[in-house]
Amino acid sequence: MASTGGKMLSAEERRRQKELEEARKAGLAAPEVDEEGNAINPHIPQFMASAPWYLNNDHPSLKHQRNWKGGPQGDDKGWYDRGAKVFQATKYRKGACENCGSMSHKTKDCMERPRSKGAKYTNKNIAADEKMQDVNMVSFDAKRDRWNGYSADEWTKQAENFDKMAEMRAEVRRKELLEQKFKNGSDGGDDVDNAAVAAEAAAEAAAAAGNEDKILEDGVEEEDKVVEEEESGFAKIEKRVRASGAATGTVRNLRIREDTAKYLLNLDVESAHYDPKSRSMREDPNPEKDPSEKTFAGDNFIRQTGGHSDSFKTLNLFSITAYEKGQDTHLQATPSQAEAAYKAFQMKKASLQGQSKSTLLDKYGSAASAPTEDILALRGTEAYVEYDAAGRVIRGQEVKACSRYEEDVHPGNHTSVWGSWWKEGTWGYACCHQTVKNAYCTGVAGQGAAEDTAAALQKNMIAYAEKKAKQAAADEGDEEESEDDQEDNGRGMDGKKKSKKRLEGVKPGNAAGVWGSEADKEDIQLDQNKLREAIKRAEKAARAEEEEGLEGGGGGGAGGDDRKRGYNSLNEDYNVSAEDMEAYRMKKSRGDDPLAAIEAAKAAQKEKSAGKYGGGGGSGDNYDFV
């Protein structure tokens, strides 16, 4: 590191020089002095305090920072002498203003009222020449001095007017106090000494006027002065070393010492950032603390307080919600429109709430309001009534029990009240036996119609029960006949055992009915003979459909040719039994089944072998019912 003169310094010398600079900045050591004896501020940066190398300065100096430019300096405090006159001519001069005759300006720049005949032609009322002045302001501050040329005469007149107004107010105050004292003395009685009252009032008025004058003169009351004296006690005095050798100085710190500094609330370096220049800590230094125990929650917390932030949030939320619901409002684009829409919304909301409140009050009343005359009449009475030990009335009129239901109300032209008739757990009207409260009265005819309806309903229920019983008996007889036919069948024991074995697994689940639903929860026992016949019928129908399809040109489908159906062929009176449904399920082809092709190939092979060897033995039904 090089010194001021360009000499290289050792590490120890650099350390001592740095310590000396820090001591000078702290005020513990005397600052440097230039060749003229002026102290050099130690806080001036080194690149400004050190002179360039080509000046060959061996001692500290600040001359290289001064303005050495020569030349005449103007008057920085000079200004135009407005309104000054220098010469009054008596006749018109060549080159002067044709309107007023002054040499200070031209005709087009004249500020006087245009004359009908100018001074050039009349030689009368020649205006005086104005003082022409050139103000030369060279310095930077003089060019930007806003108070240059200001005259305090106008303010002096205004201050005098203020003083006069203060005196008038004090005089009015004295008169008011005197009138008040005289009035109080006259109201007190005749023995009051009016002279004493007047003297006391005059003294108080003078004291009040003197106090007011004092306030007006000083501009500050005594209490304000005391507060300033108390606040001045917060000044912190520190000794500073000057170039002249004195060691005194004052540094004022206005922070209240009773409060803990923001940066001392949390000493963790990872906590909220404190800006020493603006003395602000925006984040919360102790976010984990209970809010009730905090004395400071960050400057952002204070920024969120007040009505402006809440109103802005509410208005922004309203504009967003209104835009989502189809209303063309935008707070940033059209703030006035959004605010007007929000005010209209608030007014409409308040009116609707008022209507709702009034409706509820009209319907149910208000417990806070005074009770009505009807309620007051039910509270108590002066009628004398005596009761025995059992609660029966001995003397006086018996009080009727009040009901919470409507009494003596006959809607719908009824002659009796609702609930006057009851039958089989149903309430109704006694006049017409209607069981619907909103029904219209039908009189005696309604009673007969109600009885006929009940009788017809009972008759239908009985007929339905008999029909169900007959159907159950018929099904039971069919099962017995099928068992007898099976016993009388002339085929051998081997064929019977084989057929029985093949039909053992043909039972739907316990939860499935005939149609595959859960309506019938009981087990369904299928007749094996009927099932075998149903399978034969299904095969016959399938072969007939295939033959019709071949005859029709190879277009045979699942339903055949609809043009060859007979008339009313879809209206056959045929009941599908459980055996028919089971045969349909067994013979139904499933296209999504991967084993369907294998089963079809097996069936074709069996048919081919049966035709080659002249048919199979047994009953001729080679089906696996597992």
Q: pLDDT tens digits for 487-541? A: 555 554 555 555 555 544 444 444 344 444 444 445 677 888 888 898 888 888 8
Give mean pLDDT, residues 193-197.
58
Average model confidence (pLDDT) across the chain:
77
pLDDT at position 257 over 80: no
Given 130, 164, 183, the domain boundary residue is 130
More confident residue, 525 or 26: 26
- Quote the domain boundaries for residue 162: 154-219
Residue 484 lies in a domain: no
Give mean pLDDT, residues 37-65.
88
Distance CA 496, CA 485 (A): 13
Residue 316 lies in a domain: no
Domain count, the chain: 3
More confident residue, 452 or 190: 452
- Integer CA distances (angstroms), 548 to 139, 545, 587, 603, 604, in order: 123, 5, 19, 21, 20
Distance CA 30, CA 33 (A): 9
Residue 421's DSSP bridge partners are: 428
For 367-405, b/e burial (b = at least 16 CB within 10 A) is: eeeeeeeeeeeeeeeeeeeeeeeeeeeeeeeeeeeeeee
Lowest mean pLDDT among 154-163, 181-190, 348-357, 393-402: 181-190
pLDDT at position 215 over 50: no
- Would you say 298 and 284 are in contact if contact means Cβ atoms under 8 Å apart? yes
What are the tokens at 374?
Answer: 């009807």
More confident residue, 342 or 313: 342
DSSP of 479-539: HHHHHHHHHT--S-HHHHHHHHHHTTT----TT--TTSSSS--SPPPPPHHHHHHHHHHHH
Give mean pLDDT, residues 208-221.
48
Model confidence pLDDT, tens digit, residues 88-142:
999 999 999 999 999 999 999 999 999 999 999 999 999 999 998 888 887 888 8
Query: Is the pTM here over 0.75, yes or no?
Result: no
pLDDT of residue 569: 57
pLDDT of residue 216: 42
For 83-94, b/e burial (b = at least 16 CB within 10 A) is: eeeeeebeebee
pLDDT at position 233 over 90: no
Model confidence pLDDT, tens digit, residues 277-305:
888 999 999 999 998 888 888 888 877 66
50 and 101 together in one domain: no
Q: How far is CA 208 from the centre of its chain?
A: 57
Helical ranges in 10-90 per DSSP H: 11-26, 46-49
Give mean pLDDT, residues 407-434.
86
pLDDT of residue 567: 63
Radius of gyration of the chain (CA): 61
Report which listed range, 137-151, 176-190, 612-626, is most confident.
Answer: 137-151
Give mean pLDDT, residues 557-567.
57
Residue 124 lies in a domain: yes
pLDDT at position 206 over 90: no
More confident residue, 241 or 113: 113
Phi, psi of 221 (to 5 degrees): -80, 170
Residue 107 lies in a domain: yes
pLDDT of residue 114: 95
pLDDT of residue 387: 86
What are the tokens at 242?
Answer: 């000057």
Residue 167 lies in a domain: yes
Give mean pLDDT, residues 144-157.
86
Give mean pLDDT, residues 209-216.
50
pLDDT at position 555 over 60: no
Distance CA 412, CA 439 (A): 7
Given 173, 196, 219, the domain boundary residue is 219
User: Dihedral of the CA atoms 569, 575, 577, 583 (nearest 10)?
Assistant: 0
User: Dihedral of the CA atoms 52, 54, 60, 64 (nearest 10)?
Assistant: -60
Residue 417 lies in a domain: no
160 and 215 together in one domain: yes
Q: Is 30 exposed, middle or buried (0-12, 13-18, 19+ CB in 10 A)?
A: middle
Distance CA 415, CA 441 (A): 8
pLDDT of residue 125: 93
Q: What single-letter DSSP state applies at residue 45?
A: -
Report which listed range, 142-156, 378-392, 480-494, 521-535, is most confident.
Answer: 142-156
pLDDT at position 238 over 80: no
What are the tokens at 190?
Answer: 């005749």
Residue 369 lies in a domain: no
- Would you say 513 and 581 are in contact if contact means Cβ atoms under 8 Å apart? no
Given 173, 203, 219, the domain boundary residue is 219
CB atoms within 10 A of CB 288: 6
- Please enumerate, as own/partner, the contacts of 57-66 that have beta carbons within 8 Å and a separation of 24 or more: 57/4, 57/5, 58/4, 58/5, 59/4, 59/34, 59/35, 60/4, 60/32, 60/33, 60/34, 61/34, 61/35, 62/34, 62/38, 63/34
For 567-577, b/e burial (b = at least 16 CB within 10 A) is: eeeeeeeeeeb
Three-state SS at 162: helix
In this prediction, residue 63 has a pLDDT band, given cuts at 50, 70 and 90, of confident
Give mean pLDDT, residues 152-165.
92
Residue 170 lies in a domain: yes
Q: CB-hemisphere CA count at 13 Å for 253?
A: 7
- Would you say 395 and 384 are in contact if contact means Cβ atoms under 8 Å apart? yes
Contacts of 231 (CB under 8 A, 6+ apart): 254
In this prediction, residue 159 has a pLDDT band, given cuts at 50, 70 and 90, of very high
